[in-house]
């Protein structure tokens, strides 16, 4: 059985949070069982298999790819042990957030729950927009999104906001930009 690679840049806060929930041994076992080929790194397919969205579908590969880019800090193309600790903590925090807004405990977020979640994040978006956003991220066409799609939708909205912000000079939700600036902003959010 492969051992986790030595970690030189430990995200201590992530590890401490995880070790409050699991022993070191339990967490190493989670990591090793996710590393199916035993190469000391978790690739996108292994990560997708390791994660659960609660609706018996494969975890959204777009969400997996986004998290791979966010947490593969050394650019190796895989998630090593210390990176996995940070990723695992990130997913756990999103799961807690998801459960807070899944008020009917259906295991999914509908438009009303999504609107409440987005408002709590500081987004005052219209109901028609929230419905359109939900349709865009709803892989099951049931009018609601699962945990993994919720992460993807919220992080995409965050990236869009970051791309918009430099053009919103008065911080009032209005921007003025030319077409090339729009394209640059759009390209910056492609994850």
Tell whether 70 and 140 lie within a shared domain: no
- State how many domains the chain has: 2
CATH number for the domain harbouring residue 97: 1.10.238.10
Tell whether 9 and 77 lie within a shared domain: yes
Give the model confidence (pLDDT) of 106-165 as tens digits: 999 999 999 999 999 999 999 999 999 999 999 888 999 999 999 999 988 988 888 899
Tell whether 185 and 145 lie within a shared domain: yes
Of the residues 101, 121, 137, the one at which a domain ends: 101
Host domain of residue 35: 1-101
**Model confidence at 3, in pLDDT bands (50, 70, 90)?**
very low
Predicted confidence (pLDDT) at residue 9 exceeds the cutoff of 70: no
3-state secondary structure the chain: CCCCCCCCCCCHHHHHHHHHHCCHHHHHHHHHHHCCCCCCCECHHHHHHHCCCCCCCCCCHHHHHHHHHHHCCCCCCCECHHHHHHHHHHHHHHHHHHHHHCCCCCCCEEHHHHHHHHHHCCCCCCHHHHHHHHHHHCCCCCCEECHHHHHHHHHHHHHHHHHHHHHCCCCCCCCCCCHHHHHHHHHHHCC
pTM of the predicted protein model: 0.77
Most confidently modeled range among 45-59, 87-101, 122-136? 122-136
């Amino acid at each position: 059985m492969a051992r986790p690679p030595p970690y030189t840049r430990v995200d201590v806060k992530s590890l401490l949070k995880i070790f409050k929930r699991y022993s070191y041994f339990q967490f190493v076992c989670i990591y090793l069982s996710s590393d199916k080929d035993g190469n000391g790194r978790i690739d996108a397919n292994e990560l997708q298999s390791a994660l659960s969205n609660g609706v018996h579908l494969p975890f959204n590969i777009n969400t997996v790819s986004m998290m791979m880019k966010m947490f593969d800090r050394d650019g190796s193309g895989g998630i090593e042990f210390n990176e996995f600790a940070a990723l695992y903590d990130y997913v756990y925090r999103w799961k807690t957030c998801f459960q807070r807004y899944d008020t009917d405990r259906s295991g999914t977020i509908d438009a009303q729950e999504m609107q409440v979640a987005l408002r709590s994040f500081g987004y005052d978006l219209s109901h028609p927009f929230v419905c359109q956003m939900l349709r865009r991220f709803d892989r099951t066409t049931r009018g609601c999104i699962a945990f993994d799609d919720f992460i993807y939708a919220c992080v995409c909205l965050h990236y869009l906001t970051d791309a918009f912000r430099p053009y919103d000079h008065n911080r009032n939700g209005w921007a003025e930009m030319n077409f090339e600036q729009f394209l640059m902003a759009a390209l910056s959010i492609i994850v």
